[in-house]
Structure 1
Amino acid sequence: MTLKANFELMAEYNQWMNNSIYSAASQLSASDLAENRGAFFGSIIGTLNHILVGDTIWLKRFAEHPAQLKSLEHFRKVELPNALDSILHENFEELRQSRLKMDHLIREFSSELTDVVLLSSLSYKNTKGEPFKKNMGALVQHFFNHQTHHRGQVTTLLNQVGIDVGVTDLLVRIPS
């Protein structure tokens, strides 16, 4: 499997899992979603917001790659969230709509990637303003891994309140 094909699979898996997570979370009330459950970002809605924050930060960084990918044009104009724990949307349905749009953009981004882009380096600054230069392909892998990590936290929080998200394994999305 090529790097590009791997990231297209990850984008498809990401979208599928987010749909599952949001469908499961929609069974909870606004107060249940906002209840601090001791997770790193407190609540279910706090963690879902953090995933969206992380996606925004990384896609804005990727948008500055010298290849100037067309799919990321939107992110060249987007303001960065103020903090990693920013609540972009307190309202679950608004958050869900933003997630749907984000996942669509991520699918477009993954389809536009090339080996030349993935094997190149990206210079960026972290949230503290410290400069870095790293392999673009490895950064895209981190981008997807970050989402998976925090979705695992959300599935645990949902399980603790009796909601089963269902199958979460990438394995079921890998084609024959």
Structure 2
Amino acid sequence: MGMQQDLELMASYNQWMNAKLYEAASQLTPAELIEERGAFFGSIFGTLNHIVVADTIWLKRFATTQTASARTLAVMVDLPMPARLDQVMFDDLPGLKAHRQWLDTVIINWVAALTDDDLETLLSYHNTKGIASKRRYSSLIVQFFNHQTHHRGQVSTLLSQAGVDIGVTDLLALIPDEQQAKL
């Protein structure tokens, strides 16, 4: 499996896990969703919002490149840049969920359009504190997916503490068993 296939797997995993998290979160009341739970972004809802904020920031950065795949991110250009990492993008779960589903489709389409040249590109950007960086595109995409996984892990713990079981969360569930595939 090459880098492109690995990234496509991560995009699928991202979409699958987000669907599971939002389905589980929908079992809670609005008050339970915004309850302060001591997480980095306070609540389940705050953490779900943060993931959308971070994805938006990164996708807008990726959209600025002169790569072949950047055309698939043109839909991101007109979205406002979040001002803070804890910004509330939507104030209700249905609105946040609909936007999350849209973002996940954007991510799937973007990753499918990535080329080897794209992955070798260097991306120049400023972080949220204004510090300039120039890093390899492929490594930043890995960071993009790792960040999502990190915070989804927090949400799955918070949901579990609230009495909601989201089921299997391992990436392994989406990796084909090559031995069985050959039978």
| Fold equivalence (TM over 0.5) | yes
Deviations 1:61-84 (A, max 9, x none): 000111162210011222111100
**In 2, Cα distance between equivalents of 1:120 and 1:96:** 32
What secondary structure, in the 3-state scheme, does the structure 2 residue paired with 1:28 have? coil
Whole-Å separation in 1 of the counterparts to 2:117 and 2:3:
11
The residue aligned with 1:10 is 10
Kindly provide the CA deviation profile for residues 122-165 of structure 1, in whole angstroms up to 9, marking residues without a partner as x: 11111111111000000000000000000000000000011101
User: Which sits farther off after the overlay, 8-17 or 122-131?
Assistant: 122-131
What's the % identity of the aligned pairs? Answer: 51
5 Å matches for 1:1-176? Answer: 1-67=1-67, 69-176=70-177
Aligned residue identity for 1:144: F
What is the CA RMSD across the aligned residues, in angstroms?
0.8
CA distance, structure 2, for counterparts of residue 63 and residue 4 of structure 1: 18
Q: TM-score, normalised by structure 2?
A: 0.94
TM-score, normalised via structure 1 length: 0.98
Task: Give the number of equivalent residue pairs.
Answer: 176
Instruction: Kindly provide the amino acid, as one letter, of the partner of residue 18 in structure 1.
Output: N
Mapped to 2, the partners of 1:100 and 1:75 lie a distance apart of: 14
Gaps in structure 1 of 5+ consecutive residues: none
Which 4+ residue blocks in structure 1 deviate beyond 6 angstroms?
none
